[in-house]
Structure 1
Amino acid sequence: MTCLNILSGGAAQGLVRSLTSAFRAKTGLDIEGEFGAVGVMADKLRAGRPTDIVILTEALVATLAAEKLVVPSSERNVGTVETALAVRTDHPMVSAPDRESLREALLAADAIYIPDTRASTAGIHVAKVLELLGIGETIKSRLKIYPNGATAMRHLAESPAARPIGCTQSTEIISTPGVILSGALPPGCELATVYTAAITVGAIRPHEAKVLIDVLTAPDHRELRTSAGFLEPP
């Protein structure tokens, strides 16, 4: 079957999967491509990867528009995603209503699962938070860093550690079996990221890409977006 090619942040993977059948019913196409750290996905587009649509952070899509790699008039915000804490489903929930409780929770963990601290939205933020809390060096040896949040959460689910914890975007936590969303980061450490879909300048199937954007942002699919971890965009 002919496919629509996508490059997307891992935050949108669960939502795209849940709406693939609706998209297929409208176009007869499947969706193929990659989901991962947004910086890596943007670089793949820059390197010439055949792509019809991107779903990346609002800021990164704006950069790609300035680089004339996506069509500015096609940009549409899908929703806002919070960075949050995760625990295994068989472990007690961890609450961090303020900075000190977050600091204590991270210090109490014997393994901390996070995404790439250089190319992923959540990973970059987590690295900043650890420095803000003054524990970057203390817990450095406990960090388990993976290419993206979804991979980090899969490893958290299988972790042999006694007190593991994870931190990535809520959508990646919700879509991973074996882990559970434990709570958002506290004031001063929080991060809410707007994700935007756009059609690429080199799209082979721009019409079908627009259909996918319409499906992703349709009012009728608001409940699906919410259950996947997306808040309504500003």
Structure 2
Amino acid sequence: MSSLNILSGGAAQGLVGSLTPAFKAHTGIDIAGEFGAVGVMADKLRRGTPADIVILTAALLAKLAEERLVVAATISDVGLVETALAVRTGDPEVTVSDAAGLREVLLASDAIFVPDTKASTAGIHVANVLDRLGIADEIASRLNIFPNGATAMRELAASDARRPIGCTQSTEIISTKGVTLSGSLPPGCELATMYTAGITTAAAHPRQAQALIDLLTGAEQREQRKRAGFIGDRD
């Protein structure tokens, strides 16, 4: 049986997974593909990896449309995703109200789990925040970097460190067993990223790709998007 091929940022993995049964019931096909750092996914599309649909940041989708790899008219906003803090389930949650509090929490952690600091939305942001707080060098040996946020959160859940913490997109935290969404980043350090979906120009299943976009963005799925961690809505 054929499948709809997807290349997506990890931020959308939980939402796509929750909608897969409804998608299959409507179209009769499965969803296959990859979820990972948005920069890596975009480069896979550029290198010719087969994909019917991509779900990446709005800025990346716009660039891919300029490169004629995505059909501009099909691009639709899915919603905003925050970069947030995570702890192991059962550990005391941390809440920070300002940059000084975030600096203190990070310095007190003996292991910090983050996604790719060169290619992922959250990882790039974390690296910038550490520089801004003036602690990048001080915590470098405690920084545990993984290809994507989902992997970073699974490693946080399995960590035997005394006071570990994670920082990635809220959707990846929510969808990972063993970790808990602990709080947003404080003013001046926050990031909310709009994720969008679009059909590729080489799509083998454009009609089914549009069906998935309709599911991802439809008013009927507003609560589902919120449960998955999308804080903003296109409706």
SS of alignment partner, residue 26 of structure 2:
helix
Q: Is residue 122 of structure 1 aligned with residue 139 of structure 2? A: no
Q: What is the TM-score normalised by the length of structure 2?
A: 0.99
**Any idea what the Cα deviations from partners look like across 1:40-76, whole Å, max 9, x if unmatched?**
0000000001100000000000000000000000000
* Matching of residues 168-183 of structure 1 within 5 Å: 168-183=168-183
Q: 2:230 maps to which residue? A: 230
Offset at residue 128 of structure 1 (A): 0.2
Q: Which residue identity does 2:115 align to in structure 1?
A: P
* Matching of residues 75-90 of structure 1 within 5 Å: 75-90=75-90
**Any idea what the Cα deviations from partners look like across 1:124-181, whole Å, max 9, x if unmatched?**
0000000000000000000000000000000000001000000000000000000000
Distance 1:199 1:233 in 2: 20
Q: Using the aligned pairs only, state the percent identity.
A: 68
4+ runs deviating over 6 angstroms: none
Q: CA RMSD in A?
A: 0.6
Q: Is residue 66 of structure 1 aligned with residue 66 of structure 2? A: yes
In structure 1, the gaps of 5 or more residues are none
Distance 2:208 2:222 in 1: 21
Distance 1:225 1:233 in 2: 8
Check conservation: 1:3, 1:32, Cα contact below 8 A.
yes
Shifted more, 224-233 versus 212-221: the winner is 224-233
Q: 1:28 maps to which residue? A: 28
Offset at residue 231 of structure 1 (A): 1.9
Check conservation: 2:81, 2:232, Cα contact below 8 A.
no
Check conservation: 1:194, 1:233, Cα contact below 8 A.
no
Offset at residue 2 of structure 1 (A): 1.4
* Matching of residues 66-215 of structure 1 within 5 Å: 66-215=66-215
Distance 1:83 1:50 in 2: 29
Aligned length: 234
SS of alignment partner, residue 97 of structure 2:
coil
In structure 2, the gaps of 5 or more residues are none
Distance 1:170 1:212 in 2: 22
Q: What is the TM-score normalised by the length of structure 1?
A: 0.99
